[in-house]
Structure 1
Amino acid sequence: MREERTDRTGQRVPRSRSGAIGRRFPRTGTEPVTARSPLRLRLALAGIFLPLFVAGCVLFGVWAADAGPDDSPGRGPLIFLSAVCAFLALTAFVDLLVVLRRLRGERATGR
């Protein structure tokens, strides 16, 4: 059986407004109750930058593999750039998944 979630004062927090351990910060009254992120813009940005970061990762990785000992830039900085691009590509991919899940949820509720 699940416990009901309560805030610091012991009042019940609605399931739709609760976090993992209840509401973290009380509302100040200045933010909208139904504040939403611009999901379509996030979808477009993630869709544009994901292939760019993947291409950068591959480009820097191939360049690092082909770099000789006396080349400038050296192999180390190229591997670092490849790793940064891989991290950014992973971040864009996760954001893409989150946005798609939220859009599916909005379509299901009919907002």
Structure 2
Amino acid sequence: MPIGAQPPGRRGTVGEPYSALNLRLVLAAFGFVACSALAVVLWRMGWAVPGWLLAGWALVAAVDLVVVQLRRRARRRAEGGRRHSLFE
């Protein structure tokens, strides 16, 4: 990847980069599902403390899902309904 000016036609600058909210939403959803599933497995195996730790991380991922979705809605309203790909 070349270092220097951003390629023509791209949004964002060095001072104000654009956010990858859709990618962050996918990663938060994966974290929620993975941590929830592993927490249930650990509880069934009798390991309560690691299960509670993973349940806490699942809660953090759920909160992140809500925050990202609110930011995506605000961005869509500000840009007049324009949709973005997964990586913008």
Give the alignment's Cα RMSD to 1 decimal.
Answer: 1.5
1:37 offset after TM fit, Å?
3.2
Q: Deviations over 1:24-71 (max 9, x none)?
A: xxxxxxx62x4443211211101111111110111111111xxxxxxx
Larger radius of gyration: 1
Give TM-score, length-normalised by structure 1: 0.55
Instruction: Indicate the structure whose relative CO is greater, using CA pairs within 8 Å and at least 6 residues apart.
Output: 2
**Structure with greater proportional helix content:** 2
Give TM-score, length-normalised by structure 2: 0.68
In 2, Cα distance between equivalents of 1:35 and 1:105: 17
- Taking only the aligned residue pairs, the percentage that are identical comes to 33
Deviating above 6 A after TM superposition, structure 1's stretches of 4 or more consecutive aligned residues are none
Counterpart among 23, 27, 31 of residue 49 in structure 1: 31
1:90 offset after TM fit, Å?
0.4
Partner of 1:109: 78
**Aligned pair count?**
67
Q: Is 1:97 matched up with 2:87?
A: no
SS of aligned partner of 1:37: coil
